[in-house]
Every structure is written in structure tokens, then in C-alpha cells.
Structure 1
Amino acid sequence: MAVSGRARIAAASVVSGVLVLASCGVFTDAPKTESARMLDTFAAALGAQDASRAAQLTSAPGQAAEQIGATLSGMHAATVSVKVTDPVEYSDHTATYNLTTRYDLGKDREYTTQTSGTARKLTSGWRVQWEPTLLASGMQAGGHLAAVRTDATPAPAVRDGANRPWMALQPVNDIVIDPSTTRDLPRTTSDLARVIAPIAPLITSRVISDRLAAAPGKPVTVVSLRDSDMTVLAGDPDRVAGVDVDKTSALLVTDRRITSPLTAGTTNYWQAIRDATAGWAVQMVAPNGATNRLAGAQGPASPDVRTTLNSGIQLSLVDSVVEVAQPATMMVLDARSGAILAAAANDAATSAGMSLTTSTTPGTTLDPVIAAIDSAAGGDRGAAEEQLHRLGLGVGYKIPGVSMPLSDNDTTASVSAASYNPSSLTVSPVSMGALGVAVARMSSVAPTFVRGVTTTVTGGDLGPVDAKVASAIAAAMRKTATSGDASDLTGAPGLRALVGTNGPQGPGWFVGIDGGKVLVVHCAGERSGTAALQVVQKYLRVR
């Protein structure tokens, strides 16, 4: 069949158009060039945060590994996404490309860099032409990127019940031994022990050696000192081989006399607030350490943490718990509100791991309480357990500023049985304090410490105490204080108390209501009941 010349031209145009479209990749994908494949491998290594692998694909592996590694370490990103775009390979065995790197910093925070670079075909194959600017525009040799936390200033203080500063962020000097920077480690430990002896005599060279042995080859912080402590040392720690003094800051008590187990929980609460309000920034760090902020956002300042601590009572408790050599803790609560006013522990209690929320057996201490509950419940186990909870016992307390989230045993003040079973009941200083408050006010409330922050109660409901139960317990407490085990105590007219032990090895307890305050003492070891009474008597003398 004959075809006109115009038709032949049109058909040729259609065929030509198809060929052009195919060459542009609409119908088929052109195979990647060697340089593009190498660049994809380089991007994958960066995305995997493998600095060594990425550096091996550059023209200067040593320099690249150092800067890439420093940046990946400094950014500490959850994930890194790297994309190569617009790769073009030229006939002179060079190539150009663009690189987009996204750092996922967590908490919906991210930072993205867009850079460009070149590649060359060397005898070893295609390699990225190493330039620090591949990591970020303006990057110098020896520099790196770093994502840092930012905190609003001034830092919140922790205040006592009278609104006076109890703890504040203060400068701290961390004395650190780095075993890799000294040739004679035994001499370093002995020299450092001598230097810090005036302020830390218990940290001997043997103690330092034991700490180093527990972390072989790693830097160890031997002691942290305030600026004022540094002035009384027997020398300059910086002059001891292998020792560095790192300047930092920490939340410290403003009055060193006010030591308390409450400081740990309060510091934990303060830190949680700081973490929640912290901001962030990405910095470019120059070789000399100078920084240039590239991105970020500052978090809001947080208010001071106000507690119910009574500093005067706290000082009295510190003096009281050292009256005995065996482990002893003491706590005082406000009998009307349940607020914790003070708490102290002697060194033996601290070494034994005794805390305000650790549960243990009450021994005979709660015999009058259980008897009153059983009498009122008349054999109804459900009613008995309800009364137990109404007295603040058999439930768990998580008290902001007191409880430490370390384990279930530390965050739960006491453990309730599945059903009423007095023989399995365990108590803590916190739950014994709640008992005293419940008897004093005829209704249980959860102990608190940070003002305006509620305590979480689990395992039962608090509330009004049955009048018959409260009356029976109060009568037993009066008898104990007037003619029973606590009758020798002086200086507390009108005292009501429960005293008991769990056999010769304790623990021993004292729970007392003294005017508007509830006193709780917990001792361990032999004659712990007598020891608890000694602590109380000392408190009544020095308060």
C-alpha cells in the first residue's frame, strides 16, 4: 500500500518521540553509573552511623573518619537519613552531587543539612573528594556538629517550708583519674589520696584503687568538691599525673548540716522538671572549641520547687539518729495534713540500704491496731481490709520528692495482701507515718512533700477511720506512753505511742503522736526496740 511523504514523516516523528521518551527514563531506567553506586554506598554508611566505613570511601580516610565520627557522636541522633541527589558523572572521571542529611534527635526534634561535593575516580576506584563542608556548610577541618541540651537560667531552687533555699545549683569540681594518662597508677592514687585527705579522709588510696579496679581502664570520678572545698586541699589535684579537674554543676544543699534521705528523691524530682523543660541546640564546634549555634529552641523556665521541709526539725533529727550505732531512721509528719516535715538516717542505715519507702515487717508494733480492726470487723475480712486501708496501711505510696523510681520495692511504700491477712502485712516509715496521721485526725490522707503535687496511692482507698477502731488504737497508744514501753520517755506530755519489735534482731519501731506532729523511728539489729526509744528521747531533748 502506498504511503504519502507526510505520513512517512509523521510516523518517523512518532518513533523518534518514543525513543526520546525512553532515553529520558519514562519507559526504562538507565543503569546507575559507577560514581552514583559509590555515592549510594557512602550515604548508606553515613545513615548506618558507620564512620569508619564511610571514611574508607573518601579520598582522605583518616581525616574523614575523625570528623565524621565526631559529628555522629556529637549529634547522638536516634536515626540518620542520608540522600544523594543530582549525581552527574563526567568524562574526565569526576562527578558532582548534592547530599541531604537528616538527624532525628528525638522528641520531634530534627536537624537537616544540605551540602554538595565532588567525587573522583582514583586507582582504587571512585572516591568522595573529602571536604569538611560535606557535613555542614562552613565546617572547618577538625570541627564537628553537636546536638546539646540547653537549660533555662536561672535554674530552679528547692525551698523549704519557710520558703528559704534548701538546695540550689552550684559549681562542682569533679576530681577524675584517667588510668590511660599516667605511667604510675599506684603513685597517682596515693598522691591524690594525700591531696584530698583534708576534705575527704575516708577516700584512701585503697578506696580509689578499688574504684579503678571496678572500671578497668576507664576514667573514674574520685570525688566531687565545691569551690570552697578546693581551698583546703593539701595540694592541686591538677598537678597529679593522670588527674583532671572537670568543672560542672550539681544541685547541693545550701546548709551542709541539713543532711537527709529526702535530698535524693527531691533531687530526682528537680531533675525531672529540668528534663521536661530543657531546650536543645545544634552547634558547629570549631577546632579551638568555639561554638556557633545553628538551630534549636529554648525550653521554658521552671518555677522553684517548694517543699514542706522544716529545717529546724531536720537539724534535730540529724542529731537524734546518731544517738545509736545501729541503723536508724526517723521521720516527722504534720499530724493534720500528712506533710513530711523532716527525715534523717544515720550512716549505718544508709550503708544498710534502709529508706523511707522500703517495706519490712512491723513485728508486734501493730498488734493493738490489728486487734482493734478485728474487733470492729467481726470476722468480715473485706471490712477488716477496708479499715486497714483507712488507717493508711496495706496500700502503696508514690510520693514526689520522696520515692525514687529504682524498683518496685522502692516506689511502693507497703504491699497489700490479696485479702486481709495481718501476718503478711509489711510497712515502711512512710506507711507508719500515714497510720499516725490517720489516728490523729480520724481520717487517712496520703503523705506529701512537694507542695501542690499529689501522692499516688495504690492498692486501696484512704478515708475516714471507724470511730471504734480509732478510739481503741488511741487508748492503746496512751497506755503504751503512760505505763508501757514508752513510759520512760520524758519531755512529751500527752504523748501517744506504739512500740514493738520483730524479735531480738528487730526491726524495732516507734510511732508516736506528739501534739501536732507524728514521729516515726525505725531501727535494725539487736535491741532495736530500745534503740528506737533512745532516738526518740534524744529528739525530745534537742528539738
Structure 2
Amino acid sequence: MKIWAKRAPKMACAAATCSVAVVVLSACGIGGGDDNGVAGAARQFAAAMERQDAGGAAGFTTAPGQAGEALTQTLQAMNAEHVDVNVVKPVEYSDGTASFSLKTTWRWAKDRTFVTTSSGTARHLSTGWKLTWEPSIIYPGLPYGGQLREIRTDATPAPTVRSQSGKTFMYLQPVNEIILDPNRTKDVNQSARALARTLAPIAPLVTTQVISEKLAQSQGKPITAVTLRDPDMEVMTSDPGTVPGVTVRKAGMLVMADRRLSSPLEPGLTNYWQAIRDATAGWQVQMVGPGIKPRKLAGDQGPAGPSVDTTIDQNLQLTLGDAAVEVGQPATIMALDAGSGAILGMAQNSYAVERGINADSVHPVGSTLNPVLGEVDRTATANQESNDAIMDRLGLGVQFTVPGASAPTADQPGVTTVDFRPGDLNASMMNMGALGVALARSSMGQMSSVPPFVIKGAPTNIVGGKLGELDAATTAPILQAMATTAKTGDASDLTGAPGLRALVGTNGPQGPGWFLGLQGGKVLVIYCEGDKSGTAALQVAQKYFRIR
């Protein structure tokens, strides 16, 4: 047969070729409109892909198992909002095979799209037409075991968080998340003990008990026992990854440039920094596979975002941290610039960290503000206006959202709230700071209140009332009472604080206790909890004045 074909006249050969062409074109027409033909199988495959139903699409291939796994990996890694798949030129041949093309459009938010054209073949089996499984159906040249993926890209260099002097306060650094998955170890208690022993040289506070408590709270889900920087990993004498159930995951984290520093402002600053990263993030579609370098297929990346300029004084932040650890009960301390309301720093001890106290936490003030409330009542009566309006102008009756300081939580959406009822006033450190700034400004002849802030150029949102003009008839008696408290009252034992004016008080024997001081062009707010918390607040204040 082969010999005859070679010796056939050229005209006969041409005629045969023409005849085959007619048959193919005719079959293409039939297949294009016949759901039982290759076009129908290809359209059902495409419809399943549009539903992102990997198993359903795989059922129309010659290898459902392999196809299902590969399609699942790509669909999950692409994570598209919509997938549009069009079948192009399905052609059936007389030998029971066929060919087709697919035009696939992947769509994401912000009008991001990626369009591919792939080709494939099909066979007519006893069960009907099936698409011959090849990874190239997904994308031309995709290897077995490979996938397409859509990833986020971040511009470089990453923004930093800078102190008031322009020095780097926080920056992005590679870190190692030490993760324990209770479902990947036969004896979770033994793994917890082994992990604690491994971490002891660098993280002695991450004890077996701490790890066990995290596991109990996670209800069977993996926990991050600790996050360590690369130099920390070198200190350990054994690899935590060898502990059953433990994995070490590389990540990036915004960390303090000075490892001696920590602050409850970190979550808020990180949230603000992350918002800049998110706004400047790009995207990329890659082809990845075993033994090959990820290949960029599409994407876009804009310029890096600006660094975050803050009002934080790094030296003062260190001083605040040293003062906070003076007492063995929850203590938090914040300093503000008396003229502008700029937050200069905020620190707390480990007991306050465990309690989850932050700038927005609202607490009873007890007797602390009695001199203030007395003058508010007197002024309201004399001027025939509401107590609330005066409280607002003093910074006590309004709600603040301070970018870089207010960190949203599950039970408090990043807003400082004040609940004012006679004899029962709840306030936050942010409100107490605003009050201190208002009083300090009035003593300097600046008769208006201003909101606290920590990021330069990022205004504080104020709701629930208005700040505004201050009345010397209200503020002068309060300032005099504060001077008396510092000279002959509860704060008179404090030393090293010339010109101090202070408010001191508690909400009963179990606290909480407060200290609000004006001294040296700064406003100092201290909040303590527990037994004798008023005394504890004074101890923290004394440590601050001694070491600043």
C-alpha cells in the first residue's frame, strides 16, 4: 500500500487530498452543532471550568484522576473571580480523533485579566468523545505536575516606619514562624515539651504551658508558637523543624529596628504600613512546575509606596519601656507633646500585654477626674450649656480613631469611646491624653483643644462631638488643683519633676489606677490595674522622671 502510494500519479494524489479535505470540513460542521460530538464534549469541559469544577471538567478527559488533580491545583492557585472558556474550531477526523482549541480568560478584581489560547486533541471511545489529557490543555508547554498561579507582588524597597528624627523605627525583615500542627503529631503534649526545649535558648518565655494554652485555644488548628528573626535561629542548638508536627515557615514581618523596643502602637502602625503595601501591590501570573524556575506570563507592578513618618521619639520610647516594667502588675504608659498632641511613645509591661490593653481600651476613671468634673458642672451651670459640650472640648466626650494607634479588634473597631454618666466615667488613655494636651495648651495661652496623632499628615477622625475653644475659667481651676496634687497631694512624693501638675486616682481598692501629668512640655498618661493600682501608677511615674 505504501509503495503504491509513492508511485501514484500526482493528479490522483491531489484528488485524494482534496477528497479528504472535503470530509474533514464536513465533519467539522457536524461536530460544531452536535452535543454528542467532540464539540459537545469540549463545551461541557469548558462549562465545568467556568464553574471552577475541576472534577467535573476532568470527567470529560481520558485521565480523570490526573486531570482532576492538575485542574484543581491551577484553579485554586489562580483563585480567579471569573473564568470564561470558549471552544474554538473543534474538528473531527475520520479515524475517530479530533482537535480543538480553548480560549480561556481569567478575571480578577480591579479589571485584571489573563487570556490564554491552548490546543488539544480528543478521541472517540466507547463512552463517547473524551479530551486527551495533557497539561497543555491548561496552558501551552505546561509540564506534568505543573500549574498556573496568580500571586501578589510587592514593590521594592518596602516602606519603613520612621521616628520623628527620620531614623528607621520599624522595617520589613525576614522572619521564621514556628508552627505546631496538633494533627501532624501522634503525641501533641510530647511535641509541645520538645518544642519548648528547642526554643529555650532564644525564647525561654515560650514554655510548654504557653504552647499548651495556645493549642487549647486553637481547638485543633495549627498555632504559631513564636516568630523568630534569622539571627535568632542561629542561637538555637537544635532545629525546631525536627519536632513532630512542627514546621518552620519563612515570612516577612514589620519589626522594631531596635530590638530593645516594643509598643502597643505596633499593631496600629503595622496596619497603616500594610495599607500602603496593599495599595501599591501588583500581581503576576506564573507557570511553575517540578524542576523549573517560575516563569512570568503576565502581571503589573507599580512603584513602591512612601515610608511612614511618625511622631515617635525613639529615646523616649525606650525610657517609657523601662518605666513600665517597674511594677509587677499591668502597667501602660503614654507620652504626648503638650503643644501639638503628637504621641511621642507608648509602652507597657508583659502583664498589660497579656491583658490586651491598648490605646483604645476603655476603663473606669474613678476619682481621678473629680477636679475636672467639678469644674465642668460649675461651668455648665454658669454658662447655661450642657456638660457634654464642655467634655467634648476637653477631649473626653468624643471618639477618636487615630491612624497608627487605633488597632481594630473583634470587640472594638478601632474607636475610643467614652461613656459619661455622673459618678461613672469610662475613658481610654487616648481620651486622657487629649485632656492633658487641652489643659497644657490652655496653660500656654493656646485656648483650643487638638486631637492626638502619631502619623504625620494622617488626620485623626473625631466623632460623637467636637473639640474647640477652651475657657480659662474652666481650665485654670483644674490646673491649680493639679499643681496642688503635685505639691501637697497624692503626687507630692514624686521627685525629679519640677513644675509638675498631676491628677491621680483609682476606681476603688482593686483599681484601675491612673496618673495624668503635665511636665517638661509633655503629657504623661499612666494606667495600671490590680491591687493598689494608684500607688503602682505613681511608681511608674517616679521611674520615668528618674531615668528620662
The TM-score, its normalising length taken from structure 1, stands at 0.89
Whole-angstrom CA distance in 1 between matches of 2:186 and 2:138: 38
| Identity across the alignment (%) | 52
1:312-337: per-residue Cα shift (whole Å, max 9, x none)? Answer: 11111111111111111110000001
- Contact in 1 for aligned 2:366/2:425 (Cα 8 Å): no
Q: CA deviation at 1:301?
A: 0.7
Whole-angstrom CA distance in 2 between matches of 1:213 and 1:321: 30
Q: What secondary structure does 2:363 align onto?
A: coil
Q: Does 1:406 align with 2:409?
A: yes
Whole-angstrom CA distance in 2 between matches of 1:382 and 1:78: 56
Matches within 5 A, 1:37-186: 37-178=40-181, 186=189
Q: Does 1:378 align with 2:381?
A: yes
Q: Which residue of 1 aligns with 2:348?
A: 345
Q: Is the alpha carbon distance of 1:388 and 1:221 closer, same or farther for their aligned partners in structure 2, counting shifts above 3 Å?
A: closer
- Contact in 2 for aligned 1:172/1:250 (Cα 8 Å): yes
Matches within 5 A, 1:255-270: 255-270=258-273
Whole-angstrom CA distance in 2 between matches of 1:370 and 1:344: 28
> Which letter does structure 1 place at the counterpart of 2:474?
V
Q: Is the alpha carbon distance of 1:79 and 1:415 closer, same or farther for their aligned partners in structure 2, counting shifts above 3 Å?
A: farther
Whole-angstrom CA distance in 1 between matches of 2:419 and 2:384: 13
Q: Does 1:286 align with 2:289?
A: yes
Q: CA RMSD in A?
A: 2.2
> Which letter does structure 2 place at the counterpart of 1:489?
L
Whole-angstrom CA distance in 2 between matches of 1:114 and 1:227: 44
- Structure 1 unpaired stretches of 5+: 1-22, 24-28
- Contact in 2 for aligned 1:359/1:409 (Cα 8 Å): no
- Contact in 2 for aligned 1:394/1:425 (Cα 8 Å): no
Whole-angstrom CA distance in 2 between matches of 1:102 and 1:54: 16
Q: Which residue of 1 aligns with 2:514?
A: 509
> Which letter does structure 1 place at the counterpart of 2:104?
T
Q: Which residue of 1 aligns with 2:469?
A: 464
Whole-angstrom CA distance in 1 between matches of 2:33 and 2:202: 74
Whole-angstrom CA distance in 2 between matches of 1:369 and 1:310: 29
1:40-85: per-residue Cα shift (whole Å, max 9, x none)? Answer: 2212221121212221221112221221111111111122222223
> Which letter does structure 2 place at the counterpart of 1:228?
P
Q: CA deviation at 1:433?
A: 0.3
Q: What secondary structure does 1:360 align onto?
A: strand
- Structure 2 unpaired stretches of 5+: 1-25, 27-31, 443-447
Q: Is the alpha carbon distance of 1:370 and 1:213 closer, same or farther for their aligned partners in structure 2, counting shifts above 3 Å?
A: closer
Whole-angstrom CA distance in 1 between matches of 2:538 and 2:182: 49
Q: Which residue of 2 aligns with 1:435?
A: 435
- Contact in 1 for aligned 2:35/2:41 (Cα 8 Å): no
Q: Is the alpha carbon distance of 1:310 and 1:183 closer, same or farther for their aligned partners in structure 2, counting shifts above 3 Å?
A: same
Q: Is the alpha carbon distance of 1:213 and 1:483 closer, same or farther for their aligned partners in structure 2, counting shifts above 3 Å?
A: closer
Q: CA deviation at 1:434?
A: 0.3
Q: CA deviation at 1:123?
A: 2.1
- Contact in 2 for aligned 1:104/1:111 (Cα 8 Å): yes
Q: Which residue of 1 aligns with 2:20?
A: none
Q: Which residue of 2 aligns with 1:15?
A: none
The more displaced of 141-150 and 226-235 is 226-235
- Contact in 2 for aligned 1:314/1:343 (Cα 8 Å): yes
Q: Which residue of 1 aligns with 2:226?
A: 223
Q: What secondary structure does 2:508 align onto?
A: coil
* Match of residue 528, structure 1, among 506, 530, 533: 533
Q: What secondary structure does 1:121 align onto?
A: strand
Q: CA deviation at 1:187?
A: 4.5
The more displaced of 231-240 and 282-291 is 231-240
Whole-angstrom CA distance in 1 between matches of 2:300 and 2:530: 54
Q: CA deviation at 1:166?
A: 1.1
- Contact in 2 for aligned 1:357/1:410 (Cα 8 Å): no
The more displaced of 344-353 and 331-340 is 344-353
Whole-angstrom CA distance in 1 between matches of 2:111 and 2:177: 33
Q: CA deviation at 1:175?
A: 2.4
Q: What secondary structure does 1:409 align onto?
A: coil
Whole-angstrom CA distance in 2 between matches of 1:169 and 1:94: 56
Whole-angstrom CA distance in 1 between matches of 2:42 and 2:385: 72
- Contact in 2 for aligned 1:387/1:466 (Cα 8 Å): no
Q: Which residue of 2 aligns with 1:415?
A: 418
- Contact in 2 for aligned 1:507/1:522 (Cα 8 Å): yes
Q: CA deviation at 1:386?
A: 1.6
- Contact in 2 for aligned 1:82/1:101 (Cα 8 Å): yes
Whole-angstrom CA distance in 1 between matches of 2:374 and 2:222: 58
Whole-angstrom CA distance in 2 between matches of 1:30 and 1:264: 60
> Which letter does structure 2 place at the counterpart of 1:168?
Y
Q: What secondary structure does 1:234 align onto?
A: coil
Q: CA deviation at 1:131?
A: 1.3
Whole-angstrom CA distance in 2 between matches of 1:499 and 1:296: 59
User: How many residues are matched?
Assistant: 513
Whole-angstrom CA distance in 2 between matches of 1:168 and 1:155: 8
Q: Does 1:197 align with 2:203?
A: no
Q: Which residue of 2 aligns with 1:4?
A: none
Whole-angstrom CA distance in 2 between matches of 1:370 and 1:406: 30
- Contact in 2 for aligned 1:55/1:64 (Cα 8 Å): yes
Q: What secondary structure does 1:378 align onto?
A: helix
Q: CA deviation at 1:448?
A: 0.6
Whole-angstrom CA distance in 1 between matches of 2:351 and 2:209: 21
> Which letter does structure 1 place at the counterpart of 2:67?
A
Q: Is the alpha carbon distance of 1:130 and 1:31 closer, same or farther for their aligned partners in structure 2, counting shifts above 3 Å?
A: closer
Whole-angstrom CA distance in 2 between matches of 1:195 and 1:324: 30
- Contact in 2 for aligned 1:394/1:426 (Cα 8 Å): no
Q: CA deviation at 1:455?
A: 0.7
Whole-angstrom CA distance in 2 between matches of 1:173 and 1:517: 39
Q: Is the alpha carbon distance of 1:410 and 1:476 closer, same or farther for their aligned partners in structure 2, counting shifts above 3 Å?
A: farther
Q: Is the alpha carbon distance of 1:73 and 1:342 closer, same or farther for their aligned partners in structure 2, counting shifts above 3 Å?
A: same
> Which letter does structure 2 place at the counterpart of 1:527?
K
Q: Is the alpha carbon distance of 1:163 and 1:198 closer, same or farther for their aligned partners in structure 2, counting shifts above 3 Å?
A: same
Whole-angstrom CA distance in 2 between matches of 1:485 and 1:539: 17
Q: What secondary structure does 2:283 align onto?
A: strand
> Which letter does structure 1 place at the counterpart of 2:272?
Y
Q: Is the alpha carbon distance of 1:476 and 1:450 closer, same or farther for their aligned partners in structure 2, counting shifts above 3 Å?
A: same
Q: CA deviation at 1:135?
A: 0.9
Matches within 5 A, 1:354-365: 354-365=357-368
Q: Which residue of 2 aligns with 1:497?
A: 502
1:120-150: per-residue Cα shift (whole Å, max 9, x none)? Answer: 2222322111111111122111111111111
1:510-539: per-residue Cα shift (whole Å, max 9, x none)? Answer: 111002000001111222111111111111
Whole-angstrom CA distance in 1 between matches of 2:404 and 2:268: 5
